[in-house]
Amino acid sequence: MISKVALFAVGRETFALRVEGILQIVSDVRIFTLPLLRQGIRGVFLYRQSTVPLLERRLVAGARENHNEDSPAGHCMIVFSTDAGPVGLPADKILGIVDRAQGREEEANDEQKNCKAAGTVFVCNGDRFPLLDVEALVRSLPQ
């Protein structure tokens, strides 16, 4: 069971993420676009002297939003640990970190499932935040 949940926004969409997988939240990071990157990867950035892929905004938030991949200053990235290594998740705003006990997990509705919520939402203060399964996002990348 998760103990804390990070709540964040990508565009107008809001999400939850298990804090246990977050390595760091970074801002003002230079993103390098490289030829022949896999579809779904916007670019790479340096984190602790390693190259880390940054997932595209549309991959995280789904197709419901018209996403501008060129994030203006002030946006941040969540560096998240996966079985394949760290990945960067785009975030426009960190809404907060809450104790798991402040909310509950429920099955996602069909619209939320389309946003890579892996079938679960975190409900806090009446708001429903799709709980991202970052491993599933990484697995969904085309080879």
Convert the pLDDT of each residue in 89-126 to its tens digit.
Answer: 999 999 999 999 999 999 887 665 555 556 789 999 99
The DSSP bridge pattern shows strands 50-55 and 41-47 to be antiparallel
What letter represents residue 1's amino acid?
A: M
pTM for this predicted structure: 0.85
User: How confident is the model over 17-27, as a mean pLDDT?
Assistant: 94
Q: Specify the pLDDT at position 81.
A: 96
CATH of domain 4-139: 2.40.50.180
Listed by start position, the domains of the chain span 4-139
Task: Give the chain's mean pLDDT.
Answer: 85
State mean pLDDT over 11-20: 91
Beta-ladder partners of 79: 24, 88
Percent of the chain with pLDDT over 70: 84
Give 15's strand partners: 8
CA dihedral for 9, 14, 17, 19, sign (positive or negative)? positive
